[in-house]
Chain A
Amino acid sequence: MNYFPDEVIEHVFDYVVSHSDRNALSLVCKSWCRIERFTRQRVFIGNCYSISPERLVQRFPSLKSLTLKGKPHFADFSLVPHGWGGFVYPWIEALAKSKVGLEELRLKRMVVSDDSLELLSRSFMDFKSLVLVSCEGFTTDGLAAVAANCRSLRELDLQENEVEDHKGQWLSCFPESCTSLVSLNFACLKGEINLGALERLVARSPNLKSLRLNRSVPVDALQKILMRAPQLVDLGIGSFFHDLNSDTYAKLKATILKCKSITSLSGFLEVAPFSLAAIYPISQNLTSLNLSYAAGIQSSELIKLIRHCGKLQRLWIMDCIGDKGLGVVASSCKDLEELRVFPSAPFGNHAAVTEKGLVAISMGCPKLHSLLYFCHQMTNAALITVAKNCPNFIRFRLCILDATKPDPDTMQPLDEGFGAIVQSCKRLRRLSLSGKLTDQVFLYIGMYADQLEMLSIAFAGESDKGMLYVLNGCKKLRKLEMRDCPFGDSALLTDIGKYETMRSLWMSSCEVTVGACKTLAKKMPRLNVEIFNESEQEDCDMEDEQRVEKMYLYRTVAGKRNDAPEYVWTL
């Protein structure tokens, strides 16, 4: 390949798109590394502390799209105290200084201040796409800056963020000249929206394909918006509350009939009972349906709707659908690939789902590859059946609400059931376990889960052997997170080289001690080993024998970070 001029190699590299492939290219030889660097447009950084912003900018001057993830996954479940980190400002600052022509920024679990949004909006003339998932720290003022200053904005996608609403008119800040919007999602905003401004914005955005509204957008506004945007492909309904006998409802039904392009539907943050009939006409076109925030829909309504959705590939719902409802899903949605069933009450109720619903799904939906299932109980027999019926699982996440519940029929742990899953699903990349589990399940995981990249464990295992089976067996493991497991120092320190092959390890309420963490940190300078000291006492030095409540370690070339709060000790 050294016989080809650089331009030819560059041209070939243009066809190599995935992050892992591009990474591989850069490892071949120095000249490929150089060429790859200068042509690289998209970079994914799974842990924002693994590399410094300056280093990123230096290596990839042609960067156009950056994806960053901040806090550890368990931060979602309130296990990471406030102020831990994940600030995006230094990244935006570095990018702005370097004159990189940033066009797209995708952030997950990061702290985004209004200042960073302001800086972002002023620094990159061609900025097109901002996607914020599970972020916090900004207000509608920051959104106003983005709306006002990003002249070529195509995408503003806010998913499940905590946004402070300043009752300003952020939506009105989109100038009249802004006609390039393709995707606008503000479903997570709590406050009122200027409905007139919204309608006008939609009217002047002929390329708008995806629109997700928040709760404050009432049905009459929805109807007007749909009239302006019959080309929509993805719709998130805010409020679907109306009088079934009114003109508005009649108009809405008629308008919905015109929206033949809609294949993805979500929202229904507020719903009038028995009103879903209005969407039956478009239900047969739906490939994606997310009703997981529609607490107001009764299960009978839900089931009736699903009967119309024969083309569904992705379904997110709440467990009030019940096992019978899942049976209806199984018989109606033969193309189902992804299913998420969320709990409607933290400890289940009589209508929640059990192993029966999952078995029904597995029988009716052989294409299923991604599952997140919160349930009352699970049996080994059911899991074995599911494993047989659905060998294509890539993501399998099971959450039994009573975290240590055994198989209710046999009172046995669920080792055999999960063992069947990992043995049958050779392409499994992500697994979350729950229920009563011994070391045996980890033996199975180590033996069979060759492709496993992410494993989440809670209240499981009996000894260090469990953790070791996983660390030794899962060669492709990238993220391991455990809480309330009896894994301790011996497991932590047996194969310390392993952690440099992984993105991160989280252990909370396990049996590791301060001393072991210190040892690990000393031996592995390219790991940041953080322990969180949340006690009120002014203990400057924790005793080596003391158990660590929370430990998060990750590989990094950036060294110890300088933005850690007081309770985080990087050893």
Chain B
Amino acid sequence: MAREGLGFEITELRLGLPGGEPPSVVKNEKKRMFSEINGEGDENECSGDRKIDKKNQVVGWPPVCSYRKKNTMNEGSKMYMKVSMDGAPFLRKIDLGMHKGYLELALALEKLFDCCGIEALKDGDNCEHVPIYEDKDGDWMLVGDVPWEMFVESCKRLRIMKRSDAKGFGLQQKRIHVEAMAK
């Protein structure tokens, strides 16, 4: 069993075309199978990314019962945030766990409130609104300054403010910063 790799195969007498595979099943194939299937997974892991790579999964591994899998792993972490928009009669909720970055968030917010021109997505004068968020210290911050993961950890609620209300807060510089983040 441990002989493969020692070159003995070449002296084996067998039927078949030269260069063909030996007929017997190599016992270590089992283990190689697992690492072949899953070996790529770890290296390609994007840090901080909660995306689940469904492509290369061995059936039944890891041994998490299917009920638990359905209710915890595939759904990403549920982080529902309240979002208010100036002028809108009621608030909405958005799940930050479903988004991987500011760009997606901005798109989702635009869809939610059926508006356009939320900063962090567009540039120029199209931006009617500015997204801000309340952090765990209770301060209102501009969305986009910090890395996405940090934002998700510290965001308590979101508000979409009218640009006109935010005048004079040095948003020019911020906008460039946000666009850089969004890339």
Do chains A and B stick together as partners? Answer: yes
Report if B45 contacts A (CB, 8 A).
Answer: yes
Known contacts A77-B63, A374-B62: A486-B30 contact under CB 8 Å:
yes
- Say whether B52 contacts A345, CB under 8 Å: yes
User: What mask results when residues 294 to 308 of chain A are scored 1 for a CB within 8 Å of chain B, else 0?
Assistant: 011010100000000
- Say whether A509 contacts B1, CB under 8 Å: no
Report if B139 contacts A (CB, 8 A).
Answer: no
- Say whether A343 contacts B64, CB under 8 Å: yes
- Say whether A273 contacts B79, CB under 8 Å: yes
Report if B100 contacts A (CB, 8 A).
Answer: no
User: What mask results when residues 40 to 69 of chain B are scored 1 for a CB within 8 Å of chain A, else 0?
Assistant: 011001011110110001111111111110
Question: CA–CA, A399 to B34, complex, Å?
Answer: 14
- Say whether B73 contacts A345, CB under 8 Å: yes
Question: CA–CA, A269 to B80, complex, Å?
Answer: 12
User: What mask results when residues 236 to 259 of chain A are scored 1 for a CB within 8 Å of chain B, else 0?
Assistant: 000001011000000000000000
Report if B99 contacts A (CB, 8 A).
Answer: no
Question: CA–CA, A318 to B35, complex, Å?
Answer: 25
User: What mask results when residues 61 to 76 of chain A are scored 1 for a CB within 8 Å of chain B, else 0?
Assistant: 0000000000000101
- Say whether A296 contacts B62, CB under 8 Å: no
- Say whether B155 contacts A273, CB under 8 Å: yes
Known contacts A77-B65, A79-B60, A344-B72: A402-B42 contact under CB 8 Å:
yes
Which B residues from 125 to 162 make CB contacts under 8 A with A? 136, 153, 155-157
Report if A139 contacts B (CB, 8 A).
Answer: no
- Say whether A241 contacts B31, CB under 8 Å: no
The main secondary structure of chain B at its interface with chain A is: loop
User: What mask results when residues 324 to 357 of chain A are scored 1 for a CB within 8 Å of chain B, else 0?
Assistant: 0000000000000000001111111110000000
**Which among A78, A374, A459 is the interface contact of B30 at CB below 8 angstroms?**
A459
Report if A272 contacts B (CB, 8 A).
Answer: yes
Question: CA–CA, A456 to B61, complex, Å?
Answer: 13
- Say whether B77 contacts A296, CB under 8 Å: yes
- Say whether A134 contacts B35, CB under 8 Å: no
**Which among B38, B60, B71, B153 is the interface contact of A402 at CB below 8 angstroms?**
B38
Find the B residue at minimum CB distance from A485. Answer: B30
Find the A residue at minimum CB distance from B31. Answer: A404
Report if B75 contacts A (CB, 8 A).
Answer: yes
Chain B residues with CB below 8 A from A509, complex form:
30
User: What mask results when residues 1 to 35 of chain B are scored 1 for a CB within 8 Å of chain A, else 0?
Assistant: 10000000000000000000000010110110111
Total A-B pairs in contact (CB under 8 Å)? 134
- Say whether A346 contacts B57, CB under 8 Å: yes
Chain A residues with CB below 8 A from B80, complex form:
241, 270, 272, 296
- Say whether A160 contacts B65, CB under 8 Å: yes
Question: CA–CA, A505 to B75, complex, Å?
Answer: 34
**Which among B45, B48, B59, B67 is the interface contact of A162 at CB below 8 angstroms?**
B67
**Which among A162, A318, A347 is the interface contact of B41 at CB below 8 angstroms?**
A347
Question: CA–CA, A161 to B67, complex, Å?
Answer: 7
Which B residues from 74 to 125 make CB contacts under 8 A with A? 75-82, 97
Report if A484 contacts B (CB, 8 A).
Answer: yes
Find the A residue at minimum CB distance from B67. Answer: A160
Chain B residues with CB below 8 A from A78, complex form:
59-60, 66
Question: CA–CA, A102 to B44, complex, Å?
Answer: 56
Chain B residues with CB below 8 A from A128, complex form:
none
Chain B residues with CB below 8 A from A300, complex form:
153
Report if A511 contacts B (CB, 8 A).
Answer: yes
Question: CA–CA, A457 to B76, complex, Å?
Answer: 29
Question: CA–CA, A350 to B155, complex, Å?
Answer: 21
- Say whether A346 contacts B52, CB under 8 Å: yes
Report if A403 contacts B (CB, 8 A).
Answer: yes
Question: CA–CA, A295 to B61, complex, Å?
Answer: 20
Which A residues from 496 to 527 make CB contacts under 8 A with B? 509, 511
- Say whether B64 contacts A77, CB under 8 Å: yes
- Say whether B82 contacts A347, CB under 8 Å: no
Q: Say how far B150's CB is from chain A's closest CB, in angstroms.
A: 12
Question: CA–CA, A94 to B49, complex, Å?
Answer: 53
**Which among A77, A162, A318, A485 is the interface contact of B61 at CB below 8 angstroms?**
A77
Q: Say how far B90's CB is from chain A's closest CB, in angstroms.
A: 13
Q: Say how far A472's CB is from chain B's closest CB, in angstroms.
A: 21
Question: CA–CA, A483 to B82, complex, Å?
Answer: 46
Find the B residue at minimum CB distance from A244. Answer: B156
Question: CA–CA, A122 to B157, complex, Å?
Answer: 51
Chain A residues with CB below 8 A from B28, complex form:
462, 486
- Say whether A342 contacts B63, CB under 8 Å: no
Report if A292 contacts B (CB, 8 A).
Answer: yes
B53, B62, B68, B156 interface centre (most CB from chain A within 10 Å): B62
Question: CA–CA, A244 to B63, complex, Å?
Answer: 37
Known contacts A345-B73, A459-B34, A484-B34: A350-B64 contact under CB 8 Å:
no
- Say whether A292 contacts B68, CB under 8 Å: yes
- Say whether B78 contacts A188, CB under 8 Å: no
- Say whether B27 contacts A462, CB under 8 Å: yes
Q: Could you list 30 A-B pairs, sorted by A, with CB under 8 Å?
A: A77-B61, A78-B59, A79-B60, A160-B68, A244-B156, A273-B79, A273-B81, A273-B136, A274-B136, A293-B71, A342-B68, A342-B72, A343-B73, A344-B77, A346-B53, A347-B42, A347-B53, A348-B45, A349-B48, A350-B47, A402-B34, A402-B38, A403-B62, A432-B63, A456-B63, A459-B34, A462-B1, A463-B1, A463-B27, A483-B60
User: Besides the contacts A402-B42, A456-B63, A463-B1, what 6 more A-B pairs have beta carbons closer than 8 Å?
Assistant: A78-B66, A269-B71, A343-B64, A404-B34, A484-B30, A485-B30
